[in-house]
Amino acid sequence: MDLLGAGVPTALAVSSQIAIGTSNGLVLVFGAGQALKWCLSSVAAGAKYGPVSALSFNVDCTRLLCAFSKGQITMWDLTNGKLLRSIDSAHMPDAGIVSVRFTDDRTMAVSSDTRGAVFEMKFRHLIGKRTCESQCLFSGVRGGICVVEPLRMQNFIPDFVDGVVQIVAMASQNRAVIVAVRPQFKIVHFQDLSGDSGSFPSLAWQGLSMKTGSSMAQPALAIAKDQTIRIVQVFCEDADDVKVSDFQEVRVSFELLSISWVYPNTMIVLDVHEVAHVLDVNSGEELEFIDLTDIGFVYDVNICDCSTERGSPEIGSLVMKRLCSQSFVTSDGQLFILGSKGIHVLMLRSWSDRLDLLVRHGCYDAALDLAMSFYDGTAKAVLGLTGSKDKRRDTVIVKVISLLDSFVDLSMTRFSPSHGKVELLETHYQKVVSVCVETCLHVRKLDFLFGRVYEKFAEDVIAKDVFLECLEPYILKDELKHIAPVVMKDFLVHYESKGMLSAVDACIVHLDITNLDTKEIIDHCWEYRLYDALIYVYNRGLHDYVTPLGRLLSRLAQSLETESPLTKDHAQLGNKVLVYISCCLCGRSYPLDDLPSDLVIPVRDGVLECLAVDEVDEHGKSGKNFPHLRTLVDFGAREFFNVLELAFDVDDLEMDKRQSIVDKILEMMVEDTKFTATQFGALFTFLARQMGRHDRSITVDTVLFDRVLESLCAAKENLRHEECQQALIELLDTDHLNNFERNRLIAHAESAHFFRVCEKLYTLNREFDMVLPCYWNDSARQGITFKYILENLSGTSLTDVERAKIRVKVIENFDRLVKINSRESAKLVLLGYIGDLRQVAKQLMKKEAELFSFLHNVYEFHSNNPETVDFVVKDLEGEPAVLEKYIEMMCRKSPEEIVGFLKSNEGYRLEETMDICQRYQVIDAVVYLKEEAEDFEGAFDILLQKLQSGLDAMDRNGAKVAAAERANDVIVQFLQKNSFRINSSQRELFWFSNLKAIMTAQENLRLLLKASREKLYAGCAVDQAKKDFSTSNGISRGLESGVRLTNGGTILAYDEALQSLNKMMHRVIDAMMTYFPMQLILQRVLSNPAYVSGTFGELKDLLLGVLDSTVYETTLINTCALLANKDIHDRLTSLVGTASRGVFPERGRCRLCSVSTAMVHEKESVVCFQCGHSYHYACLSDASALAELPEGQRVWKCMQCDRRFRPGALRPRKMSESVTSSALSSVERQTQVSSFKAVRKSLKSPSKFQMLLQLKENPEGGRAPRLVHCERFGLRVTAPPPPP
């Protein structure tokens, strides 16, 4: 191009030839061999018409349309390179051509320009003259067309020849339109386009046949804009019937620039970042992408550069930025991309090429997976695989076999590990075998698997073993049901050598044995005890269901005779036999599936006959031994009878066969004494359930059943107790036991501990009191004993005599009930169901544990429900011995609860109780009792002694301070509570004794601390030690300085103890200030030797504490006074405002006489209320409208609002006091107190002043007089006096 001076490429067209337009107006046409065939036009024409903007071949590639950016169009003959037409009038002058396209009709083309207009061009050749007629399809006035794409059916249906219907698709920025140009112009479809306003639409046609149901492809149009691709399908039945239907919508995650079909269902799209994406249309899945930014993608920007300003600004900007329809072209499955330096071709590989590429890279696993997707028809973008489904699969199978053969060869040689452990090699072979088996199963080529593949693995011993072991999971999952006889033989030999015959047993039952040697398999199964396989071979191979059962039962009988207990193998044999019998009797095939319908009855009858077979002695007589039944009962009676029960539930099992098997079992077990009670229990449960059936299918001889019941009840071993009991209960619900004596049944049930059976029998006899032992003797049902008692004693179904018997039974065994649940027992007594509390408590006196538990729950229930049971608990106060016994037990078990009990209960004797508490050293209880006995001195002595013990412990070890602090708090609380109950001398003695004990301990600790420090100073330099101890961390500094301080820890402990004593002393002094003057307290404190000789530092904390208390109380008093003054001020302000407010009558008439109040005599008065109602004074007097207030005062009341007025209560605003005046001249209110109450009542919450008044009490215990009641509080505003 540089040699020709063509400039840069601007446009591209591809058919059987390739045409490239350039910026200098030249068109280069290349043939199939990429040789330059024609150089059309000239540089001069380019200078005149501008760059080439669009190119288009006709159907047979004999004509080429060339459009220029300044509006000219030329047609060239590609057979000789001659110019046929030069068209300059098809579009408006100076409108650049954006697109030009031939249609299927060789004489017709469509084009669009930068104005957004679309023109149809018809070519004529008449009498040696070539002409072109243009017709405007869209003017672009209402929205310029951005892209035009005519439907060319011959692109995807080569044999299609039809020039009657010509369809053109075009799209503007907001709408896509499909029009039929011929035979007549008609819009057949339009669709609005959404998305970013700056995105450019793109159109592409393709033939699809997905939804038509026919093999013939129908045209489909892809419309792309922004991130959405919409596909519509066009159906053209005839020239006048063109229909369009929506086909699919695909959404992508990038902004689209151009789209193009490469194959049906496969599309290549270009995004705005010049990345090409391969999409599967059906799924919308992105298969691959490639970055094209390096190829110098060519955009059609020269069109707008050369077009005039008269073009559409909207289209011009889009073309400038986004138009690339002449650079992104597909043909015959290839994508041609025009770059600045050349043409780049992209194409999708065929399905076989894709597989070969993976093989060349050694990715056999991926190649086989891809081949399987081709086989299943799930692969995307499949090229070259044609024909019907079966034909395509056959083609793929050939390729798969070839791949698999190569894969196995390489896996055994080049891919195999050359060194390392054997486990590494086995792992490698396992992966290879898994791939081979799964692939051959998938394509159903087992002959290749057990032929060529197995032969290669058999060449290596390790590979062969791995191959055989890898077959097992596929067999067990029923994926592999056929194995070649040679492979099966090697399979058995290998697993026998490995001792893994159980795996063979499990595998054989999943195989189709038609290809196996039945006799050989049976012999192997007996030899290696493969019982499942044996049954399977007999059933499926020989259709024999009885022979294996008899042989297996005989082997099980031999094991039972020789082995005790059974080995694991023989136990498994017994279980398999039971399952096999169950399957046969229920119409199932062992171990899976169902029996054929024609075999169900014969198999069941044969199995029952086999079970009931009897031994015959040498004389030909039956021995009534029934060996098979005996074997099954000996192995597992319960399991065997469960199997029979399942079989008896089958509806079509004859009655006589059921009865026959039951009779033989009874005959066998009743006459033989070797059977255990467990076996009899299983038999009894089975018989009871069968006798209890609604159809009564089984009848049992009464004597035999009684013997079974006796054997069961007389047994001492652990049976399946509940199961037998439930069976007997179900039997009682029927009439089968009516012939049995009920008392005898009760005796049997009691001996067997069938408590629920006993309950049922006693209930039938209406012996409800005897039911109670059935509950409390049954460990599983003890908890519901109380529910039964309550239901019967509170219900009406029992007579008075029956309820009395229950009460007697309960009282006689009340200790047993307490052991079961003491809380529920207490509720029975407290709620009045059983006796009285005193009687029950006296009965339990000899059993301390039960008495304590019972009384503990009695008082706990009383504390939670005091009003309900208070009178019942009070009755116990008449038995002080019981209470004292309970207190004694509390001293042993829960001494911390004694004080609370003593405070909340009465009836105990003080002296005896005090002796008990002293005996068990419950000090708190002793103090409380002495306090109750008004022995305050004794109580205080005990508390002081306890405090002194705590202080002594502090002296011995300064760290023990908690006990002393607790003892001091108890003494302070004791003295605060009783200071008003003792005389002044005792009060002074007690308080100051407590204070003295603390101060004495302080003095002792100071002396100990001083001695310790002196001892410490003696062991080191005096100056250094003093310097160290002058700070708060002197001990640690002394240690850091290297001095060995042996008693440093003791000094720290003494310091902490001394601080605790100071806190205790402050606590006592704060409490004493309520009862003693501060001067007296300070005098006693300062007279103590510890403080007389002490320094000011030792008194500092004490004096500061006293000052803090004084400041606190002063601040509290001032704050209360401030709150009271503010509250009084607020209320007085509100009161003055209310009293000063004027009153206006609503109507000018008296509410009683309806006479106007405006015209009255001068001496007459009118009474007006704040509610607005007015009355004559005389009318109101006659109506006696006076109300008495609690203070004894009388006030007027409004007759209209009378129902809302309550004497003695504070009135609302609408019921305020009346105001009298002479002709409404003045307003007076009643008294200050009532007005103040009215204002306070109108508020939603009490004032702070009111709360302070309610909290403040005078020294005598009453409330202080209210401030508002003082004489100086009145405002001297009164209402007119009431009438005499």
Coil vs helix vs strand at 296: coil
* CA dihedral over 831, 834, 840, 844, signed as positive or negative: negative
Q: Is the model's pLDDT at 440 over the cut of 90?
A: yes
Q: In this predicted model, which residue has the larger pLDDT, 567 or 700? A: 567
Contact at 8 Å (CB) between 1215 and 1251?
A: no
Beta strand 266-271 pairing with 275-280: antiparallel
Coil vs helix vs strand at 173: coil
pLDDT per position as a tens digit, 605-631: 899 889 888 764 444 444 557 889 889
Which of 803, 797, 857, 859 lies closest to 835, judged by CA? 803
User: 625 exposed, middle or buried (CB, 10 Å; 0-12, 13-18, 19+)?
Assistant: middle
Q: Is the model's pLDDT at 240 over the cut of 80?
A: no
CA atoms of 1098 and 1102, how far apart (whole Å): 8
Summarize the confidence of residues 1155-1171 as an average pLDDT. 74
Question: pLDDT confidence of 29, banded at 50, 70, 90?
Answer: very high
Residue 998: half-sphere exposure toward Cβ, Cα within 13 Å: 28
**Least confident among 63-67, 392-396, 596-600, 857-861:** 857-861
Average pLDDT over all residues of the chain: 79
pLDDT of residue 210: 55
CA atoms of 558 and 555, how far apart (whole Å): 5
Contact at 8 Å (CB) between 25 and 49?
A: yes
Question: pLDDT confidence of 653, banded at 50, 70, 90?
Answer: confident
Q: Is the model's pLDDT at 475 over the cut of 80?
A: yes
Q: Is the model's pLDDT at 222 over the cut of 90?
A: yes
Asked if omega into 1280 is within 30° of 0 (cis), the reply is no
Which of 267, 270, 291, 269 lies closest to 281, judged by CA? 267
At 441, give phi and psi (nearest 5°): -65, -35
pLDDT of residue 1223: 36
CA atoms of 800 and 976, how far apart (whole Å): 59
Task: Answer left, alpha or beta for residue 52, where phi above 0 means left and psi between -120 and 50 means alpha.
Answer: beta
CA distances from 987 to 937, 1064, 1067, 1109, 1136 (A): 10, 19, 17, 22, 52
CA atoms of 256 and 201, how far apart (whole Å): 8
Summarize the confidence of residues 356-376 as an average pLDDT. 91
pLDDT of residue 1191: 59
Summarize the confidence of residues 120-138 as an average pLDDT. 86
Question: pLDDT confidence of 711, banded at 50, 70, 90?
Answer: low
Q: Is the model's pLDDT at 1220 over the cut of 60?
A: no
Summarize the confidence of residues 1077-1094 as an average pLDDT. 71
Question: pLDDT confidence of 589, banded at 50, 70, 90?
Answer: confident
Contact at 8 Å (CB) between 179 and 188?
A: yes
Other Cβ atoms less than 10 A from the Cβ of 879: the count is 18
Summarize the confidence of residues 1238-1262 as an average pLDDT. 47
- Most confident region among 65-79, 312-326, 845-859, 1190-1204 by mean pLDDT: 65-79
213, amino acid identity: G
Q: Is the model's pLDDT at 1280 over the cut of 70?
A: no
Contact at 8 Å (CB) between 235 and 222?
A: no
Q: Is the model's pLDDT at 14 over the cut of 80?
A: yes
Question: pLDDT confidence of 74, banded at 50, 70, 90?
Answer: very high
Sheet of 228-238, strand order: 202-208, 218-225, 228-238, 241-251
CA atoms of 171 and 258, how far apart (whole Å): 13
Q: Is the model's pLDDT at 449 over the cut of 60?
A: yes
Q: Is the model's pLDDT at 553 over the cut of 80?
A: yes
CA atoms of 365 and 439, how far apart (whole Å): 10
Question: pLDDT confidence of 949, banded at 50, 70, 90?
Answer: confident
**Least confident among 351-365, 857-871, 945-959:** 945-959
Q: Is the model's pLDDT at 891 over the cut of 50?
A: yes
Asked if omega into 1281 is within 30° of 0 (cis), the reply is no
Q: What percent of the chain has pLDDT over 90?
A: 14
1213, amino acid identity: R
Contact at 8 Å (CB) between 413 and 429?
A: no
- Under DSSP, the state recorded for 540 is I
CA atoms of 541 and 522, how far apart (whole Å): 10
Instruction: Provide the Cα torsion 179, 181, 183, 185; round to 10°.
Output: 70
- 0.75 surpassed by pTM: no
pLDDT per position as a tens digit, 744-754: 788 878 887 88
- Under DSSP, the state recorded for 730 is H
In the beta sheet, which residues pair with residue 135? 120
Instruction: For 1008-1070, give the secondary structure using H, E and C.
Output: HHHHHHHHHHHCCCHHHHHHHHCCCCHHHHHHHCCCCCCCHHHHHHHHHHHHHHHHHHHHHHH
Question: pLDDT confidence of 956, banded at 50, 70, 90?
Answer: low
Other Cβ atoms less than 10 A from the Cβ of 1158: the count is 11
| Token pair of 141 as six digits | 């006035």
Distant-in-sequence, close-in-space partners of 544: CB < 8 Å, separation ≥ 6: 538
**Least confident among 66-75, 183-192, 665-674:** 665-674
Beta strand 166-172 pairing with 175-182: antiparallel
Asked if omega into 1190 is within 30° of 0 (cis), the reply is no
Q: Is the model's pLDDT at 837 over the cut of 60?
A: yes
Summarize the confidence of residues 410-417 as an average pLDDT. 86
Q: Is the model's pLDDT at 102 over the cut of 80?
A: yes
Q: In this predicted model, which residue has the larger pLDDT, 223 or 1059? A: 223
pLDDT of residue 1199: 79
pLDDT of residue 235: 85
Q: In this predicted model, which residue has the larger pLDDT, 688 or 1019? A: 688
Q: Which residue has the tokens 């009070």?
A: 874
**Least confident among 50-54, 341-345, 388-392, 1031-1035:** 1031-1035
At 740, give phi and psi (nearest 5°): -85, 140
N-terminal to C-terminal alpha carbon distance within the chain: 135
The DSSP code sequence of 1115-1180 is HHHHHHHHHHHHHHHHHHHHHHHHHT-----SSSB-TTT--BSSS--TT--EEE-TTS-EEEHHHH
Q: Which residue has the tokens 């799924």?
A: 283
- Most confident region among 179-193, 212-226, 717-731, 953-967 by mean pLDDT: 179-193
CA distances from 584 to 588, 592, 597, 618, 1058 (A): 6, 11, 12, 32, 93
Per-position b or e across 539-559, b if 16+ CB within 10 A of its CB: bbbeeebbebbeebbebbbeb
CA atoms of 688 and 477, how far apart (whole Å): 42
Instruction: Provide the Cα torsion 1244, 1249, 1250, 1252; round to 10°.
Output: 130
CA atoms of 207 and 152, how far apart (whole Å): 10
- Under DSSP, the state recorded for 983 is -
CA atoms of 539 and 772, how far apart (whole Å): 58
The C-alpha angle with vertex 437 and arms to 436 and 443, in degrees rounded to 5, equals 90
Q: In this predicted model, which residue has the larger pLDDT, 1203 or 768? A: 768
